[in-house]
């Protein structure tokens, strides 16, 4: 932004959904900040418990109504997120333990559920891995919804606010401490141009929803809700992760131009999505998509992609206390394979960190998860979990063009152990007369310098190679790309990176 006139002020966060939005800020209250603690006489305890039960029932009804509306008003995968919150409302840790707290502490229901939430969140905070740690936000979002019900606050914009926004034909930008999936779906039905929040990360449900809904979004702004006034004009740069508050005329004009250019570019991409990409010397280049859930396939087809280059399977293992069984995984993989109707689908085996294992009882403490027991290392240390996933993948291969991709390969020993386990999975399916693709392709992710240097040896034992540039850059340059103090050293075009990529391509 140094080339532009300084705005009133800007806030930097994490961009999770691209695009540019210009509009007036609409602040959403944080119910957790409004919780007060007061004692109750014994004769009112059961009445308070009834009030708590009614709030739970109210929230369930709200979420069920939202889930029902998804059939027409939102992408299909959003149902999974709302469903997760509904499942949490069946968990005794949120529905029964607060009642015990009310009885034992003789306190109000709002305070009881907040105490229980704090205890659960503290457990999540002990997890180092970002995927699982961010799941605490689901707990916070559900509890905030319960507290709003207890306080009698509306869960969405009032009719008066909706009509005001529409009648004035103005774009509103939602500013909140956090946004639950259910809130995001409801707010999308109104005139909101963007979401910005104080908390969250790229793997949070809010971030995934924002991308699915094509809404520019920035999270982890820390104090946006405190610094921005309701009704203030703000710019949301979903590319750079910047929120500009009360922009000058020059900044506003510049961003209106950028917004027009971005929208024009999106229109151009839509027009050419069915056009084949061919280089000057006649080499055809296919556009393959990355997905996280089966429902992402709809967006893949809409974008004109010719296949799926990376299906991340971690989503199946997240936000739960157990591991998905073979049947659950098989159904998910099969759904994608069938939906792609013969187009290639490359599915990456579990790429979880040291403490993102099947359950917390088996988690391994690790000072540096990026260099610890993760990805294929973790899978080989948990052969039964890996065996289950391999069987599910093989069974799904009967219904489409599936390829298996192994993450973070470093040594040939790891590869050979993997191939041995894959063969054992095949043998078990043969014994049960379950069909699968006998010639299923097996590939490896080249994302560790050691693998890139030894790419030729890996290529001799694999059907294909896939380069994971993010981790390759991080490991090669010894840089944590999330650490602001060394972010300026993160250079994708560093000569050593280009050389490793070149070596890998030649080996493949």
Number of Cβ within 10 Å of residue 305's Cβ equals 20
Q: Give 296's DSSP letter.
A: G
For residue 135, CA distances in Å to 148, 199, 234, 301 come to: 21, 12, 29, 29
Do 134 and 206 belong together in one domain? no
Do 397 and 419 belong together in one domain? yes
Q: Could you tell me the two tokens for 5?
A: 């006139």
- 382 and 343 Cβ atoms separated by less than 8 Å: no
- 306 and 287 Cβ atoms separated by less than 8 Å: yes
Do 337 and 403 belong together in one domain? yes
pLDDT over 90 at 444, yes or no:
yes
For residue 215, CA distances in Å to 1, 111, 169, 192, 377 come to: 22, 34, 18, 9, 37
Specify the CATH number for the domain of residue 323: 3.20.20.60
Do 226 and 147 belong together in one domain? no
Do 318 and 406 belong together in one domain? yes
pLDDT in the model for residue 299: 79
pLDDT in the model for residue 260: 94
Mean pLDDT of the chain, nearest integer: 84
Give the torsion sign (CA, 78, 80, 84, 89): positive
pLDDT in the model for residue 296: 79
* 162 vs 429: CA distance, rounded Å: 57
Range of the domain at 70: 31-151
More confident residue, 274 or 156: 274
pLDDT in the model for residue 446: 96
For residue 305, CA distances in Å to 28, 313, 333 come to: 38, 20, 18
Is residue 2 in a domain? no
Do 333 and 415 belong together in one domain? yes
Please tell me which of 1-5, 69-73, 301-305 the model is most confident about, judged by mean pLDDT. Answer: 301-305
Q: Please provide the size of the chain in residues.
A: 508
Is residue 263 in a domain? no
Do 63 and 125 belong together in one domain? yes
pLDDT over 60 at 1, yes or no:
no
Return the minimum-mean-pLDDT range out of 38-42, 66-70, 252-256.
66-70
Specify the CATH number for the domain of residue 74: 1.10.274.10
Closest CA to 354 of 322, 393, 382, 384: 382
More confident residue, 11 or 374: 11
- Up-side HSE of residue 488: CA atoms within 13 Å toward CB? 1
At 387-421, the pLDDT tens digits run 999 999 999 999 999 999 999 999 999 999 999 99
Do 195 and 123 belong together in one domain? no
More confident residue, 133 or 306: 306
Per-residue confidence band for 168, with pLDDT thresholds at 50, 70 and 90: very low
Number of Cβ within 10 Å of residue 255's Cβ equals 21
Identify the domain boundary among 110, 130, 151: 151
Identify the domain boundary among 197, 226, 255: 255
- 293 and 312 Cβ atoms separated by less than 8 Å: no
Number of Cβ within 10 Å of residue 122's Cβ equals 10
pLDDT over 70 at 161, yes or no:
no
Per the structure, the count of domains in the chain is: 3
At 171-181, the pLDDT tens digits run 889 998 888 76
pLDDT in the model for residue 371: 74
**Beta-strand relationship, 14-17 and 20-27:** unpaired
Give Cα 417 distance to the centre of its chain.
Answer: 31
pLDDT in the model for residue 192: 81
For residue 164, CA distances in Å to 160, 207, 422, 474 come to: 6, 28, 60, 49
For residue 375, CA distances in Å to 259, 345, 390, 410 come to: 39, 20, 14, 11
Q: Give 39's DSSP letter.
A: B
At 196-242, the pLDDT tens digits run 999 887 666 677 777 777 889 999 898 998 999 988 999 999 999 99
More confident residue, 335 or 169: 335
Section 451-467 average pLDDT: 97
pLDDT over 70 at 170, yes or no:
no
Specify the CATH number for the domain of residue 160: 3.50.30.10
CA dihedral 492, 493, 499, 505 (to 10 degrees): 70
More confident residue, 422 or 30: 422
Q: Could you tell me the two tokens for 179?
A: 């946004």
Burial group, residue 371, by CB count within 10 angstroms (0-12, 13-18, 19+):
exposed
Is residue 14 in a domain? yes
Section 284-306 average pLDDT: 85
pLDDT in the model for residue 480: 74
pTM check: above 0.85:
no
Q: How many helices (H) and strands (E) would you count in the chain?
A: 21, 16
pLDDT over 90 at 255, yes or no:
yes
Do 458 and 367 belong together in one domain? yes
pLDDT over 80 at 156, yes or no:
no
Identify the domain boundary among 118, 133, 151: 151
SS (H, E, C) 195-250: EEECCCCCCCHHHHHHHHCCCCEEECCCCHHHHCCCCCEEEEECCCCEEEECCCHH
* 155 vs 153: CA distance, rounded Å: 6
* 219 vs 150: CA distance, rounded Å: 27
Burial group, residue 180, by CB count within 10 angstroms (0-12, 13-18, 19+):
buried
Is residue 262 in a domain? no
pLDDT over 80 at 286, yes or no:
yes
Q: In angstroms, what is the C-alpha Rg of the chain? A: 25
Per-residue confidence band for 133, with pLDDT thresholds at 50, 70 and 90: low
Do 348 and 399 belong together in one domain? yes
E strand segments, 349-494: 401-406, 441-446, 464-467
Section 462-473 average pLDDT: 93
* 475 vs 453: CA distance, rounded Å: 13
pLDDT over 70 at 6, yes or no:
no
Do 490 and 420 belong together in one domain? yes
Do 481 and 442 belong together in one domain? yes
pLDDT in the model for residue 384: 94
Number of Cβ within 10 Å of residue 298's Cβ equals 14
pLDDT in the model for residue 3: 42
Is residue 285 in a domain? yes
């Amino acid at each position: 932004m140094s080339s532009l006139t300084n705005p009133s002020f800007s806030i930097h966060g994490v961009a999770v959904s691209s695009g540019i939005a210009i509009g007036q800020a609409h602040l959403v209250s944080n119910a957790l900040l409004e919780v007060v603690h007061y004692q109750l006489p014994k004769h009112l305890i059961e009445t308070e418990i009834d009030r708590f039960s009614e709030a739970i029932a109210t929230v369930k009804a709200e979420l069920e109504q939202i889930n029902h509306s998804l059939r027409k008003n939102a992408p299909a995968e959003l149902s999974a997120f709302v469903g997760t919150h509904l499942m949490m409302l069946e968990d005794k840790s949120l529905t029964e333990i607060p009642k015990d707290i009310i009885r034992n502490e003789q306190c109000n229901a709002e305070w009881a559920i907040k105490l229980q939430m704090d205890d659960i969140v503290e457990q999540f905070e002990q997890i180092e891995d970002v995927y699982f740690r961010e799941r605490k936000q689901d707990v916070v979002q559900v509890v905030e919804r319960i507290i709003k019900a207890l306080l009698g606050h509306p869960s969405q914009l009032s009719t008066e606010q909706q009509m005001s926004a529409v009648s004035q034909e103005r774009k509103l930008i939602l500013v909140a401490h956090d946004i639950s999936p259910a809130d995001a779906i409801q707010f999308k039905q109104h005139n909101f141009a963007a979401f910005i929040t104080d908390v969250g990360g790229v793997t949070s449900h809010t971030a995934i929803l924002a991308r699915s809904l094509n809404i520019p979004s920035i999270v982890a702004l820390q104090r946006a809700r405190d610094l921005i006034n309701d009704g203030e004009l703000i710019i949301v740069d979903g590319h750079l992760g910047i929120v500009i508050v009360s922009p000058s005329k020059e900044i506003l004009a510049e961003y209106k131009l950028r917004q027009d250019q971005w929208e024009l570019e999106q229109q151009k991409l839509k027009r050419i999505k069915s056009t084949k990409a061919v280089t000057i010397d006649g080499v055809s280049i296919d556009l393959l998509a990355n997905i996280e859930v089966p429902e992402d396939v709809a967006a893949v087809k809409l974008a004109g992609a010719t296949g799926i280059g990376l299906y991340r399977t971690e989503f199946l293992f997240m936000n739960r206390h157990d591991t998905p069984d073979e049947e659950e995984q098989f159904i998910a993989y099969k759904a994608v394979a069938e939906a792609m109707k013969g187009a290639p689908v490359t599915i990456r085996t579990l790429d979880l960190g040291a403490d993102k294992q099947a359950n917390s009882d088996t988690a391994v403490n690790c000072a540096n998860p990026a260099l610890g027991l993760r990805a294929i290392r973790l899978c080989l240390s948990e052969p039964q979990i890996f065996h289950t996933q391999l069987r599910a993948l093989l069974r799904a291969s009967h219904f489409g063009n599936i390829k298996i991709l192994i993450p973070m390969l470093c040594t040939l020993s790891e590869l050979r152990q993997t191939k041995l386990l894959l063969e054992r999975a095949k043998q078990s399916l043969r014994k049960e007369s379950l069909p699968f693709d006998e010639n299923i392709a097996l590939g490896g992710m080249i994302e560790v310098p050691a693998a890139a240097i030894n790419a030729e040896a890996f290529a001799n034992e694999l059907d294909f190679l896939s380069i994971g540039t993010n981790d390759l850059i991080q490991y090669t340059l010894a840089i944590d790309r999330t650490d602001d103090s060394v972010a300026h050293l993160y250079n994708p075009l560093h000569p050593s990176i280009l050389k490793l990529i070149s070596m890998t391509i030649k080996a493949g």
